Amino acid sequence: MPVSFDVQTNPDARSDAEVATLLAAPGFGEYFTDHMVSITWTKGQGWHSATVKPYGPLSLDPSAAVLHYGQEIFEGMKAYRHADGSVHLFRPEMNAERFNRSAARMMLPELPVELFVEGVRALVEVDARYVPQPEGEHSLYIRPFMIASEAFLGVRAAEEVTFLVIASPVGPYFGSDGVKGVDIWVTDEWARAGVGGTGNAKCGGNYAASLIAQYEGYDHGCTQVMFIEASGKDRVEELGGMNVFLISASGDLVTPALTGTILDGITRDTILKVGAAQGFTTVERRLSAQEVFDGIADGTYVEAFCCGTAAVISPISGFKSKRGEWRLPEAGYPKTLAIRDGVLDIQYGRVDDTFGWTHRVA
Ligand SMILES: *Cc1c(COP(=O)(O)O)cnc(C)c1O
């Protein structure tokens, strides 16, 4: 289904000099490109009015359903510039497919995979000068999202919905002073998801629900929080916005199984495949927080890391909870960094993409 986007060029686009200044210190999610993509869905009519237009505030009726009932989903992906100047997306159809699973869960309309990818491509093409050079792990972070834009206060699935794509040039999520270990707070107090809930949908509500635990973690000197399934069975799930892995001394690469309450990260899936190719034994299973703590204490687990598109792979230096504190060995995280390099090398085109994961857009 070929779609044509109505392209309205931004008359106030930044100058090349302004873009260069911004790319020198992009931060994370602070600056946005000159354009955004918008596609509207109306019940009975389907998707229409595909537009590339100047980045700017939305005009939304105060009764728009999203503002009241949180009917919203999003995705996070990146465009990477390779050394030859070309620009590539990474497994974009995985984002499109997950977006549709999130949409189905939140009673939002599905968006054809090709239209999702075309929307992302249209934005990256028009704002390609915002895709940074690869040095320092810079990239263009892309945020597709869908909101219930219908003006109506009744509680039902919205009959008018807007799909949008915005993009922001970014540096490393945890700052630019190298790969450092992060301390993780394991909350026994708060849950982000429950069985039958929205844990495996990428929706804003999950993030709103996770913030209180994040702040509990800050109070204990931690930068991130790890959630336990709300079943009382002490099952490790994931962080507020990242999946979690453990590495055993014997080379097992272990991550909680996808059981409906965990977001199925594309980085998670990528790591399982890259890790297997590097000789790790990949294991997806339920594991309890106590098992993690005991395994660190007795030397079974020698490294741990969290992962997601935004922060790539960050080594975990220790876990803290009301039950105690457990430190991972301070040995420079060699196994984590080997996997991390393996993933980044493919994303930045530094090795042959034998998996067929990169998707050239400019
Ligand atoms: C987006 C997200 C992840 C990471 O997914 P990636 O596809 O790897 O970026 C993990 N957990 C949650 C809750 C998320 O929202």
What's the pLDDT tens digit per position in 182-233?
Answer: 999 999 999 998 899 999 999 999 999 999 999 999 999 999 999 998 888 8
How far is the C-alpha of 227 from the C-alpha of 262, rounded, in Å? 10
Average pLDDT over residues 155-180: 90
Q: What pLDDT shows up at residue 179?
A: 82
Residues with C-beta less than 6 Å from any ligand 1 atom? 76, 202, 238, 241-243, 263, 265-268, 308-309
Ligand 1 mean position, distance from CA 9 (Å): 32
Mean pLDDT over all residues of the chain? 96
29-82, pLDDT tens digit by residue? 999 999 999 999 999 999 999 999 999 999 999 999 999 999 999 999 999 999
pLDDT tens digits, one per residue of 338-359: 999 999 999 999 999 999 999 9
d(CA 104, CA 113): 14
pLDDT at 360: 97
How many Å lie between the centroid of ligand 1 and the Cα of residue 162? 22
Q: How far is the CA of 304 from the centre of ligand 1 (A)?
A: 17
CB atoms within 10 A of CB 213: 22
Q: What atom in ligand 1 is closest to the CA of residue 199?
A: 13
Does residue 2 register a pLDDT over 70?
no
Rounded CA separation 262/100 (Å): 16
Closest atom, ligand 1, to C-alpha of 192: 13
Work out the widest C-alpha separation in the chain, in whole angstroms.
62
To which residue do tokens 């309309």 refer? Answer: 109
Q: What are phi and psi of 99, to 5 degrees?
A: -55, -40
Q: Whose CA is nearest to atom 1 of ligand 1?
A: 241
Distance from the alpha carbon of residue 2 to the mean position of ligand 1, in angstroms = 30
Closest atom of ligand 1 to 75 CA is: 1
pLDDT tens figures, 124-148: 999 999 999 999 899 999 999 999 9
The tally of CA atoms less than 13 A away on the side-chain side of residue 154 is 4
DSSP string, 89-134: EESHHHHHHHHHHHHHHTT-----HHHHHHHHHHHHHHTGGGS--S
